[in-house]
Every structure is written in structure tokens, then in C-alpha cells.
Structure 1
Amino acid sequence: MFSGIVAASCQVLSIDQKNGIHRLTLDLTGLTQHLEVGASVAINGVCLTVVAIDDVSVSFEIVQATYNQTNLRILSPATLVNVERSIRLGDEIGGHLLAGHIAGVVTVLHVHISSNEHSVEFVVPEPWRKYCHTKGYIALDGVSLTLASFDYETGTGIVNLIPETLRRTTLRTVAKGKLLNFEVDPTTLTIVDTVERILQSMPKTIDEPKHKASS
């Protein structure tokens, strides 16, 4: 599990492919203390497993389905990615709980920058809109964010970015047309899916109660 509080933006050293498996190697300077092979790390919000460690160079393997579904497919050497180590029991949850299971990618429609505001507008694919609502939680490229507004009809959402988020994450480089990994709040997803399943299992019509004839 993760909290959506990115530790740092780190550089891609290499990304190779062999037999349908993609191997991603990053420079995780400052983030390797107590890191072991088999550990889970979120890369742009995607939960990946460490397969090799060589000093500060850390490698991960990506299956084709994950590669196709996320923006990891557009990475190249020298690209920066958001990195978060998995949380441990007792850690402060500064953002919100995330599983690192990406729903898909969203496309940035507009970036608004002024002297006192930095906001990003994007569009959510239709199947995932039911899990989004104004003031609800989402994650973009692994960053825990609150939806400042959301339009169910168009699927457009807006998030505001504070200076610390811009300093620490790759969201500072976001521009129109960029693809961002998108994860919905797991709690919201569970509630919506459970309620839908219960409602679908209920009878379509409710029979009127039968009254006994008066004697």
C-alpha cells in the first residue's frame, strides 16, 4: 500500500524489453535504505516489484498488460518519474491509501498557472467517472490529490497543485496532451461497486402486499 506522498522524482537509467517483459532501471539515490529485492515501490503510481539492486540503480520488471495500460510505455532514458516506497505499519498517512493499481491514463486538457494558482484540468474515461466527485480523492502519477471540481457529464476534473507538490513531483512539467496514470480512491470504488451489485440483485419491481379479505 502507498499514501500518495511522493518521496522524489527520479531519473530513468534504462528500459529494455525481452520476451514480453520490460525491465525498468532507475537511479534511486537517497531512497535505497533498507530496500530489498521483492519490495514494492510505486513508480508514477504503478506498484512494481524490485528485482535487482546495484548501489543506487534499482530495477523493476513490468508485464505487458501493465506496460500497455499505463504511461510507463512512454518512458525513455533520462525521463523523471515519481517514486514512493511502500508504507509501513505506524507510518503517517499524509495523503490517502492507494493500492498502486492503475485504472488507466487520463489526458491533460489545460494547465492554468497564475501568481497564486497552479491547476490541471483533465478528462476521465467514462467507465471510471462514477468513482469521481468534487472533493473526492484521486491519484495522478502516484500523487494523492483532491478533486477541486468534477463534471460527471463531460468527465472533466480539476486539481490544484501546491508549491511543495510541484517541487517534489513531475507534475511541475505537466502540459496539455500529457498522459497521467490515474487511480481512483479504493474506498470509493469498493462502496460504489458494492451498492451497484446489491441494487442489481434486487427484484426489478416490488409486489404490492396482499391484504387478507375482511371477515
Structure 2
Amino acid sequence: MFHKEGTQSILLGSIFTAVVLLLSDYLIDQYWLKIGVQIATLLLLIIILQFFRNPKRNVISDENIILAPVDGKVVVIEEVFEGEYFKDKRLQISIFMSPINVHVTRYGLSGLVKFSKYHPGKFLVAWHPKASEENERTTIVIENETFGEVLYRQIAGALARRIVNYAQEGMQVIQGTDAGFIKFGSRVDIFLPLGTTINVSLNDKAVGGKTVIATKL
């Protein structure tokens, strides 16, 4: 199963592969060169397909937990000052996605979208300390009865050149469903109320829509 954001890329990649395979038979006489070109083209198509994969994950919604919004490695767990929306201290969890991770963003909790804003910006490497404030990014705040307001931020990386965000203010969203897509290496920061129980550790591998990153007891 592939994400709808990859439809154009997959179509163009498939056409390109078919053309190269067809023309290489007629235009390249040297056997090993022809095979090399064909293998490289097929590998490129495989990379495109794996990047846009969208594995189905059945989620049973639970108001007392927050699920990882993306696949990747937990790279930050700390108390920070969140200056865009809350303007106070929050618990931050950051998940870094490499180019080989699934890049679908999922809603980590159900609730009402209170805030959704796109920020143009730089393309620093996603793990850079200033990436959260200076890179291209989107900020989304969801409110639910258990946790109150929770903010998550999609952050473009050095290679990412497009962030897709489906959240719009006033929407009711459901935990685990499709919230958007980020192309290539990138990061998602989650800002939680102080006192929230964190269920992951640094360097843990998170699975979007599956891994419980926080609970409210």
C-alpha cells in the first residue's frame, strides 16, 4: 500500500523505468553496461516505492495515551520553553526520520485541532538544535479531554522540500489516522504538558500509530 502523496512520483518513476528498460535494449550494445543501467533504474524505482509505502496499522483509540506520530528514532526528551503557541515550559519528545523510514504522519491523539500554521524556513539537518525554530515546518495543536492541548511540529530536514499537513483548525481528528507526509529525512517534535508520563527513552525506535510515547494516569 502506498501513500497518495506518492502517486505522481511513482507514476513518473514507473514510466521512466519502462522507457529506460526499453531503450537500453536498442541503444546499448555492451551487455554489462546495459545490465548495469537496467539494474540501477530498477533500484531507483524500488527506492521510490519504499519511500512512499504506507503500511496499514489498526489503532484502537485510547484517550489516556499518546501514540508516536511517525516512525523513527527518539532523539530528544527534555523540558523546554515552547515559544510559539504555549509560551511556557513543556515536555518535548523529538523523533528523527531517516530517508528509509515510513514518512507518513499520524495523529498521536484524538481531539479538536485548535491551531495549524505553516512556516517557511531553512533546510538545516533535521537533528540540528535550531531546526525546530528555523527550518520549514508546520505547527499543529490538538486539544482533548485527557491531556489538554498537545502540540506537534513537522520539521523539514536537509533533503526534505515538501511538508504535507492535513490538519485544519476546527477539525475533529482521530488517533492513528493519516495527518500528512514529509518527504525525505525530517523530524517531528511533540510538546506535552508538564507532569505527563513519558513511556519512551532516548534512541528508542518508535513506530507511528503503534508506539505509546506518553500516558496520563
- Fold shared, TM-score > 0.5 on shorter chain: no
Q: Computing the radius of gyration over CA atoms, which structure comes out larger, 1 or 2?
A: 1
TM-score by length of 2: 0.28
TM-score by length of 1: 0.28
